[in-house]
Each structure stands twice: as structure tokens, then as C-alpha cells.
């Protein structure tokens, strides 16, 4: 009963911590491109291009660091990683409130990349303490904390940016993230399973972990799809404020951009736990294939929006599809990877996602510069469809695959 009590307490604390971290992090996303415009008299092409660079550099650095954090977590526990990333992100964002140049913001976003990974690490911590048969439902519940924060963050950030200015918004954001990390410091009691089998107790080398990923065709495919999902999802996010500006003549653009961000969060919030529960019942890879098709269907109409309400509607429907993808991928990895290597495997999956976070904004910035922001929605729709095709092909060719233990 003690283990269950600790497990539930950890889930509750991480839910609230993820809520505050996600809310705080997404407070600044809607106006990041607008913040760049305050540094000088730049043309729109420059702002769009550097919005992608500044947004993406954080995840390029995190791409290299994430497997290292995962391996350290497998060996020493995930709580220390949560504290390093939580306080590190807080400090980085605090300094952004005082920067006065594009280069300075770029360097701070780069530094932030070295300590990015609070939410993925929380998924690894809770996943390691969760039975496989309810992993989808539990991780979906945890994801609701992230989604709820992502829902309120953009609107709150937009309101604060319009009312107080960008610099104060960064400072408030950093304080909220520091409070979330402090909650982890005093509240989380990490459970290390001492009743593992000899296979689960084995320590795997980095080479063996990579071999496990490569040998499991569907596992590798799911990681590649994580990359594609992030490319498709993040290609438009840094430019959403500029797209909203094209659709409306209102003056409170930061708030309206936050509203468009939050519409996706509402869809996430309503559906993510249900998608996770469905994955427990029929298989996570099958749910993921359904979600990829739905994402394609709901993202294309965003390019055809003539009014803000149309964009908000389809961002909401898109959120219903995109919200179940992370729990499905994480639960599938939890199912396929031995316990003592799960942190590192999740770290490699996170690296794929971070690489997508880099490629997406750069792709969006380049495409918008040549063909306009609306073109991004068509390309990302095609990417979701391609990801579905890759997953369908891998599922068909993995039916006869025999799991080979080390």
C-alpha cells in the first residue's frame, strides 16, 4: 500500500509540476516572433527566418544532450535530472527578459537547450513506476497536466505581454518554473524497483541500447515518426502570431495568437487520456496510425482560413488528434524496452523529437519566406500522411518479426 501511495503522490505532483512548466514555457511562444521585432527595424523575411532559428536552436542542443540525461536517469534516478532541467530552464528564461539583441536571445535559447527536458523526464519517471497494462491511461493522465498548462499559458502570456510588456512576462515565467522545480525537490520520492528480474537488472551499454532499437523495426519506426510529428507540428508554431496578424486587423495580436495556441490545447485536454486508454485496449501503434490520419485531415483547412474563428476551430480539432500521439509513443516504448534501458531509449526518442523541433521551425521559416505562411499547412499535412504510410508499412512487415533477447 505504501508503494501505491508514493506512486499516486508522485503522479499528482508531476501533474501539477508539468502544468506549471508547460504553462510557463508556452507563455512566451506566441510572441517570440514579435519580441524579435523590438530589437531593431527588420523586414518581415528577417523576422520570419530568425524566429525559426531562435525557436529551433534550443532543440538542436537538446538533441545531443537528451540521451545522456536518459542514461544518467537510468543509473542514478530521474529526480536529479528534473531538478537540473527545472532550475536551468528557469534561469535561462529569466535572462531572456533582459536581452536586447537577436544574437543575445539566440545564445540564451542555445544555453536553454542544454537543460531542456523536464517534461520528457517526468514521463520517464512515471512510466518506470507504472504497470505496462495501464501505461497508456496513466501517461495520458500525466499528459493532461502538460496540456492543461499549454492551454492556459499562451492566453495568459499574451495578456501579460499586452499589459506589462515582454520582459516582465519572461521574468514571471521563470519564477513559475522555479516554483515547479521546488515542488519536485520537496515532494517527489522516486521509487526504484528492487524486485526486478535478472534481465531487468542488467546494465546495457550504449551500443546494446542502439542495437535493441535497430533490431526492433517498429520501435525504430515509432521514433522516426516522433521526428516527423514534431517537424509537422512545430513548422508553424513560431509563425502563428504572424499568421493571426494576417487574418485580423485587431491590435491585441499577442492575446489572439495565444488564443489560437490554446485552441489546440483544448482539443488535447479533451482527448489525450481517452486516446491513451484506447491504446491500452487495442494497441498503441494502431491508435497512433488513426491519429496521424486525423492530424492530416484537420491541418489542411487551416491554410484555407479566411477568419480567425476558422483557424481557431481547426486548431481545436487538430489538437484532438495531436494530443494522443505523445502518450501513445511513450507507452509503446515502455512496452518494448527493458526497464533498465527505458530512460535511455526514451532519451533517444526525445532526441528524434528535438531534431524535429529544430527542422520544423527552419522548414517553416524557409517555406513562409518563399510561398507564404499558409503553404506550411499543406506541407505538414503531407508529412502526417507520409508518417501514416511509414507506420502502416512497418506494422505489416513486423508481423513476422521474432523478438530476440540479448
**Segment of 96-110, 140-154, 312-326 carrying the highest mean pLDDT:** 96-110
Q: Is the pLDDT of residue 110 over 50?
A: yes
Rounded to an integer, the average pLDDT of 59-80 is: 81
Rounded to an integer, the average pLDDT of 201-224 is: 79
What pLDDT does 58 receive?
Answer: 80
Rounded to an integer, the average pLDDT of 4-26 is: 81
What pLDDT does 249 receive?
Answer: 67
Give percent of the chain with pLDDT exceeding 90.
Answer: 12
Instruction: Report the alpha-carbon distance of residue 336 to residue 332 in Å, rounded.
Output: 6
Rounded to an integer, the average pLDDT of 289-309 is: 88
Q: Is the pLDDT of residue 402 over 50?
A: no
Rounded to an integer, the average pLDDT of 375-387 is: 89
Rounded mean pLDDT of the chain?
80
* Local confidence band at 251 (pLDDT 50, 70, 90 cut-offs): low
CA-to-CA separations, 340 to 154, 196, 334, in angstroms, rounded: 37, 9, 11
What pLDDT does 351 receive?
Answer: 82
What SS3 class is residue 293?
helix
| Of the candidates 279, 270, 271, the residue with the CA atom closest to the CA atom of residue 136 | 279
Contact 126, 10 (CB under 8 A): yes
pTM as predicted: 0.70
What pLDDT does 235 receive?
Answer: 82
* Local confidence band at 2 (pLDDT 50, 70, 90 cut-offs): very low
What pLDDT does 213 receive?
Answer: 82
Instruction: Report the alpha-carbon distance of residue 231 to residue 356 in Å, rounded.
Output: 4
Helix (H) or strand (E) holding 76: helix 44-76
What pLDDT does 4 receive?
Answer: 52
Least reliable range by pLDDT among 110-119, 220-229, 357-366: 357-366
What pLDDT does 182 receive?
Answer: 93
Q: Is the pLDDT of residue 401 over 70?
A: no
Q: Is the pLDDT of residue 115 over 90?
A: no
Least reliable range by pLDDT among 13-22, 51-60, 84-93, 281-290: 51-60
| Of the candidates 109, 44, 25, the residue with the CA atom closest to the CA atom of residue 373 | 44
| CATH of span 2-187+204-397 | 1.20.1250.20
Least reliable range by pLDDT among 39-43, 340-344, 381-385: 340-344
What pLDDT does 353 receive?
Answer: 81
Q: Is the pLDDT of residue 226 over 60?
A: yes
Q: Is the pLDDT of residue 357 over 80?
A: no
Contact 279, 222 (CB under 8 A): no
What pLDDT does 388 receive?
Answer: 92
**Segment of 278-282, 342-346, 351-355, 383-387 carrying the highest mean pLDDT:** 383-387
Q: What is the widest separation between alpha-carbon atoms in the chain? A: 65
Contact 242, 43 (CB under 8 A): no
What pLDDT does 194 receive?
Answer: 53
What pLDDT does 122 receive?
Answer: 85
Rounded to an integer, the average pLDDT of 328-343 is: 77
Q: Is the pLDDT of residue 256 over 80?
A: no
What pLDDT does 398 receive?
Answer: 66
Q: Is the pLDDT of residue 75 over 90?
A: no
The domain segmentation of the chain, as residue ranges, is 2-187+204-397
Q: Is the pLDDT of residue 89 over 60?
A: yes
Amino acid at each position: 500500500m505504501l508503494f501505491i501511495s508514493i506512486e499516486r503522490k508522485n503522479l499528482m505532483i508531476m501533474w501539477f509540476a508539468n502544468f506549471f512548466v508547460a504553462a510557463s514555457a508556452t507563455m512566451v511562444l506566441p510572441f517570440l516572433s514579435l519580441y524579435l521585432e523590438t530589437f531593431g527595424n527588420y523586414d518581415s523575411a528577417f523576422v520570419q527566418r530568425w524566429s525559426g532559428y531562435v525557436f529551433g536552436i534550443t532543440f538542436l542542443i537538446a538533441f545531443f544532450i537528451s540521451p545522456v540525461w536518459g542514461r544518467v536517469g537510468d543509473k542514478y534516478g530521474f529526480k536529479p535530472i528534473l531538478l537540473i532541467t527545472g532550475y536551468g530552464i528557469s534561469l535561462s528564461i529569466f535572462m531572456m527578459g533582459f536581452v536586447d539583441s537577436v544574437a543575445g536571445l539566440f545564445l540564451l535559447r542555445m544555453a536553454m537547450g542544454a537543460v531542456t527536458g523536464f517534461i520528457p523526464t517526468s514521463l520517464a519517471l512515471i512510466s518506470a513506476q507504472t504497470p505496462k497494462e495501464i501505461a497508456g491511461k496513466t501517461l495520458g493522465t500525466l499528459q493532461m497536466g502538460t496540456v492543461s498548462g499549454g492551454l492556459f499559458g499562451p492566453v495568459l502570456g499574451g495578456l501579460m505581454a499586452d499589459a506589462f510588456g515582454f520582459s516582465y512576462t519572461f521574468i514571471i515565467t521563470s519564477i513559475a518554473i522555479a516554483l515547479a522545480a521546488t515542488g519536485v525537490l520537496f515532494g517527489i520520492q522516486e521509487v526504484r524497483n528492487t524486485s526486478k528480474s535478472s534481465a531487468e537488472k542488467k546494465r546495457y551499454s550504449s551500443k546494446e541500447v542502439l542495437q535493441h532499437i535497430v533490431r526492433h523495426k517498429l520501435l525504430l519506426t515509432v521514433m522516426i515518426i516522433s521526428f516527423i510529428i514534431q517537424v509537422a507540428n512545430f513548422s508553424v508554431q513560431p509563425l502563428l502570431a504572424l499568421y493571426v496578424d494576417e487574418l485580423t486587423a485587431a491590435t491585441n495580436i499577442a492575446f489572439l495568437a495565444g488564443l489560437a495556441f490554446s485552441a489546440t490545447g483544448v482539443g488535447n485536454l479533451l482527448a489525450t487520456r481517452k486516446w491513451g486508454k484506447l491504446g491500452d485496449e487495442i494497441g498503441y501503434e494502431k491508435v497512433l496510425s488513426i491519429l496521424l490520419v486525423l492530424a492530416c485531415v484537420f491541418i489542411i483547412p487551416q491554410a484555407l482560413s479566411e477568419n480567425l474563428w476558422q483557424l481557431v476551430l481547426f486548431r481545436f480539432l487538430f489538437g484532438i488528434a495531436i494530443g494522443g500521439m505523445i502518450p501513445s509513443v511513450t507507452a509503446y516504448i515502455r512496452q518494448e524496452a527493458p526497464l533498465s534501458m527505458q530512460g535511455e531509449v526514451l532519451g533517444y526518442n526525445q532526441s528524434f523529437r528535438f531534431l524535429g523541433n529544430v527542422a520544423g521551425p527552419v522548414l517553416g521559416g524557409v517555406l513562409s519566406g518563399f510561398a507564404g505562411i499558409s503553404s506550411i499547412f499543406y506541407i505538414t499535412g503531407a508529412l502526417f500522411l507520409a508518417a501514416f504510410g511509414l507506420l502502416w508499412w512497418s506494422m505489416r512487415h513486423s508481423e513476422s518479426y521474432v523478438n530476440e533477447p540479448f
